[in-house]
Amino acid sequence: MTTKLSVEHLSAFYGPKRALDDVSLEFNDREVTAIIGPSGCGKSTLIRCLNRIHETQPGARAEGRVLLDGADIYEQDAVEVRRRIGMVFQKPNPFPTLSVYDNVAAGLRLNGVRDRNAIHVKVVESLRKAALWDEVKDGLMAPGVRLSGGQQQRLCIARALAVDPEILLMDEPASALDPIATAKIEDLVFDLKRTYPVIIVTHNMQQAARVAERTAFMYLGKLIEVGVTRELFERPKEKLTEGYITGRFG
Amino acid sequence: MTGVERKALTESLDQLNENMATLAELAKVAIRKAVESLEEGGKAEADAVFTLDQEIFALKQEITRRCVDLIALHAPVARDLRTITASLEMTTDLDRIGRYSRDIAEIAREIAPSASREVRRMDKLAKMGELTVRMIDLALDAFRHRDAEPVKNMIAEDDAVDDLHDDLFRELVARMADRSLSPHIGAQLILINRYFERLADHAVNIGDHVAYMVTGQRLTRVKRPKTGLPLGPQY
Amino acid sequence: MRKQGRRRRITNAAMSAAAFACVIIALVPLASILYSAAVEGGKAIGPAFFTQNEPPPCSPTLQANCPTGGIANALQGTLILVGIATLIALPLGILTGIYLSEYGRLSRFGAGVRFVTDVMTGIPSIVVGIVIFAIFLLVAQAGWIPLRYVTSATSGIVALTVIMTPIVARTVEEALRLVPTTIREAALALGIPRWRAILRIVLSTGKAGVVTGALLAVARASGETAPLIVTAGGSFFGFAGFDQSIAAMPLLIYVNGLSGVPNYVTLAWGTALVLILIMLGISLAARLALHRVLKGAGAAR
């Protein structure tokens, strides 16, 4: 298990308000790590710091280090970091004015790729990886927003995969979806982890239990416990963790 | 922490714990009465054990059903999960305790009152009975108090019981060989010796489940291989 | 109970009738304007109307032989003034709108720009005209530009630009603010530089609003009279250079409509009708564009 991403003493702020408190954590390659915790515990903030989206919000900043393959992403070009670390958001957000095809191609085109064949190959490959190809192959030019919620989310996953990220971040990707669509996303994560390390934030503990090899529990901005999922759910070390996962609070 | 109670789960878990406590009590009484019936030769005690065994079996069915429901409906984790799994496993052991108690009581009813004098004179058999009851008590008390400390040495105690079983077996065979013990009674006593040894094993199992339930870790076991029946120098 | 129900129904009916009546009352002036323009202006419309320049004044005694003339030069003038002003105001306004929405939401400088823009959308256009006139005059008096630029196509264009830019800026800012943050973040998360994300994704998503803003500004500028009185100046002839006076349709209406000369008055009515039709056309175009964009993008579930 090689360490792909390493978080060291990360703290994050929205203006004066501290949302993350000295978090240190490691994420392994070809593995799914879930981050769970009650609302407001900082899990979304954490994941948004990992691809430097957090700081795009006015007034937001972060302190500490995040090492991708050993190099601190906060000392590199933010745009390049974001290309290497992909993200899927809670509410599916395909670009409203673009077709299905153009949505997936957007990342490539906007990064300067001109070769139409290369783009086409990548679009088809990404749609296949996102398990969406069969459903859209006859309607690639339809507006992206005409798809169902679950399909839109898979479209967003395809869009993120098209730029060949090294890590995939998912911020509660299935929370806006019905159970069938959720299951499809989980199956997708199961396939994707063969190629990419996946970090998934979820408020659904059973989902974390189903998809993740390792799980981290956060509360009030602090990392409380992290470990092999099976261990965390069968014999958690911290009382706080036990209280949350047995549903006694949160 | 906000007071989310998960009322349905809590109520069902409470019911499970109550049922398990009852089952434990029934098992304790069953083995005690079985040993009594052996040593005092009372038919009443023996009959009581038969009834207890039936109650134990019925309660075990209900507990198993409840555990399956809890798992299917509530997706329990951590301590809840361990409690339920341990309970499921323990019902098997407690059911076996009831069954063996009944077997002992059956034999007692058959060979008593004539042999009860003989039985009372056999120190080793009495000791087997005493150790077994004590181990079962220890494990079930640890379960009731949710305390894994007392069961830590059960493996060692079980080894002692195994050794005593082997000794008693040799003695019984020797006494049947030199005719100081009738084969009819001797054979039954050999069975009872075996039952005690098995009961002690089940007590250790229960201790193991209690340790898992409380700490998440099981007792470390190094099982000594049973090298077959120790036949002794006569053969 | 039943009495209450009946009273409620009567009240409902009365309120509906009252509201309807108010609508009718509000529409009366609009209807009368349209009617007058159509009837009076219709008299002037003809092929000559669009091809000939404004005729010289004609004395009432010679009425029978008065040349009718046309508004060709005024049409050309308006096109040049509004067209060039648009070419300048649109990029300026869009860039300002982008700054206000994407970079200046929280900064003090952004707040300042926003305030100034707001104020400028409210300044009476005559004031804008006078100020531009004064500035040009001062600059000319200082000797940096020839005096004739003070009332010229150039000063007219400048005045219209000053009027149009804040409108475009504010409308674009509002339109871009409506684009959900999550769209921006999705674009950024693909590893695109911010400016490209704004231009290619955010602007494109908010283009309905941008188009509306542009059309609104153009409509406003087409109808502005007061600033043009003191800057563009008006003329009987077609475009003669950026340093010369230039005709414009609203100016024509103002001057000719009040002149009392019959053929001028008719011409004014015709121009008014044409202007109204142009405004209608622009409004319709804006509405259509909005509808089409919404139909494509907003039909998401």
Q: Do chains C and B touch (3 or more CB pairs under 8 A)?
A: no
Chain B residues near residue A250 by CB distance under 8 angstroms: 1-2, 4
Least confident of B47-56, B114-123, C228-237: B114-123
Interval B175-223: pLDDT, tens: 999 988 888 888 999 999 999 999 999 999 999 999 999 999 998 877 6
Instruction: Give the model's confidence band at C22: pLDDT under 50 very low, under 70 low, under 90 confident, else very high.
Output: very high
Contact C253, C281 (CB under 8 A): no
A 149-208 → B contacts, CB under 8 A: 205-206
Band (pLDDT 50/70/90 cuts) for residue C294 is low
- Say yes or no to pLDDT of C68 above 70: no
Q: Is pLDDT at B235 greater than 70 in this prediction?
A: no
A6 strand-pairing partners: A26, A67
The yes-or-no verdict on residue A130 having pLDDT over 70 is: yes
| Chains A and C lie in contact, requiring 3 or more CB pairs less than 8 Å apart | yes
pLDDT exceeds cutoff 70 at A96: yes
The burial class, CB within 10 Å (0-12 / 13-18 / 19+), for B228 is exposed
In the chain, the amino acid numbered A230 is R
Q: Give the pLDDT confidence score for residue C298 in this predicted structure.
A: 45
CA distance C225 to C159: 11
Confidence of residue C300 (pLDDT cuts 50, 70, 90): very low
Give yes or no for residue B227 having a pLDDT over 90.
no
Give the least confident one: B204-213, C16-25, C36-45: C36-45
Stated pTM of the model: 0.80
Of B125, B108, B122, B230, residue with least CA distance to B180: B122
| Number of residues that make up chain A | 250
Locate the domains of chain C by residue range: 72-300
Compare CB distances from C189 to A51, A58, A145 and report the shortest one's residue.
A51
Nearest to C247 by CA among C234, C238, C232, C256: C234
Helix (H, G, I), strand (E, B) or coil at C58: coil
* Statement: residue C297 has pLDDT above 70: no
Q: Does A234 contact chain B (CB < 8 Å)?
A: yes
Tokens 């150790």 belong to residue: B131
pLDDT at C299: 40
* pLDDT at site B179: 87
A125 pLDDT more than 90: yes
A227 three-state secondary structure: strand
Fold for the domain defined by C72-300:
MetI-like fold (1.10.3720)
Token pair for C148: 């004739």
Question: Which pLDDT belongs to residue B117?
Answer: 73
Question: Band of the pLDDT at A143, cuts 50, 70, 90?
Answer: very high
What's the pLDDT tens digit per position in C100-128?
Answer: 999 888 889 999 999 999 999 999 999 99
> Do the beta carbons of residue B66 and residue B133 sit within 8 Å?
no
Write out pLDDT tens, residues A75-88. 999 999 999 999 99
Instruction: Write the pLDDT tens digit of every residue in C184-207.
Output: 999 999 999 999 999 999 988 888
Burial of B18 (0-12, 13-18, 19+ CB in 10 A): exposed
Which CA distances in Å does B177 have to A130, B163, B231, C259?
79, 21, 12, 148
Write phi, then psi, for C144 (nearest 5 degrees): -85, -30
Q: Residue C241: exposed, middle, or buried by beta-carbon count in 10 A (0-12, 13-18, 19+)?
A: exposed
pLDDT at B230: 58
Q: Could you tell me the CA-to-CA distances from A66 to A5, A22, A24, C218 in Å, in that order? A: 7, 12, 9, 51
Pairwise CB contact (< 8 Å): B79 & A246? yes
Residue C137: closest CA among C231, C235, C227 = C231
Q: Taking CB atoms and an 8 Å cut-off, how many pairs form between chains A and B?
A: 43
Write out chain B residues lying below 8 Å of A242, CB-based: 78-79
Q: What is the 3-state secondary structure (H, E, C) of A233-248?
A: HHCCCCHHHHHHHCCC
Residue B234 pLDDT level (bands cut at 50, 70, 90): very low
More confident residue, B146 or C66: B146
pLDDT for B41 beyond 80: no
Q: For A176-200, what is the mean pLDDT?
A: 91
Give the residue, B196 or C247, on which the prediction is more confident.
B196
Distance CA C197, CA A49 (A): 20
Among C225, C116, C118, C121, which residue's Cα sits nearest to residue C163? Answer: C121
Q: How far apart are CA B186 and CA B192, in angstroms?
A: 10
pLDDT band at C257 (very low <50, low <70, confident <90, very high): confident
Q: How many CA atoms lie within 13 A of B57 on its CB side?
A: 10
pLDDT, mean over chain C: 86
Average pLDDT over residues B150-166: 93
Banded pLDDT at A150 (limits 50, 70, 90): very high
Query: Percentage of chain C with pLDDT > 70?
Result: 93
Question: Does the interface predicted TM-score (ipTM) exceed 0.85?
Answer: yes
- What does DSSP say about strands A17-28 and A222-228: parallel, antiparallel, or unpaired? unpaired
| Cβ-based contacts of A248 with chain B (< 8 Å) | 1, 4-6
* A245–B3 C-beta distance less than 8 A: no
Residue pairs spanning A and C at CB distance below 8 A: 90
Reported as a single tens digit per residue, the pLDDT across C208-234 is 888 888 998 999 898 889 999 889 888
Class of domain B3-215: mainly alpha
Specify the pLDDT at position B1: 35
Q: What SS3 string covers A39-89?
A: CCCCHHHHHHHHCCCHHHCCCEEEEEEEEECCEEHHHCCHHHHHHHEEEEC
- Chain C: give the shortest CA distance to residue A69, in Å: 18
pLDDT digits (tens, 9 = 90+) for A29-87: 999 999 999 988 999 999 999 999 999 988 899 999 999 999 999 999 999 999 999 99
pLDDT at position B2 is 41
Q: Pick the more confident residue, C53 or C38.
A: C38
Between chains, do A95 and C192 touch, taking CB under 8 Å as contact?
no
What subunits make at least 3 CB pairs under 8 angstroms with A? Answer: B, C
Cross-chain CB nearest to A246 (options B78, B215, B216): B78
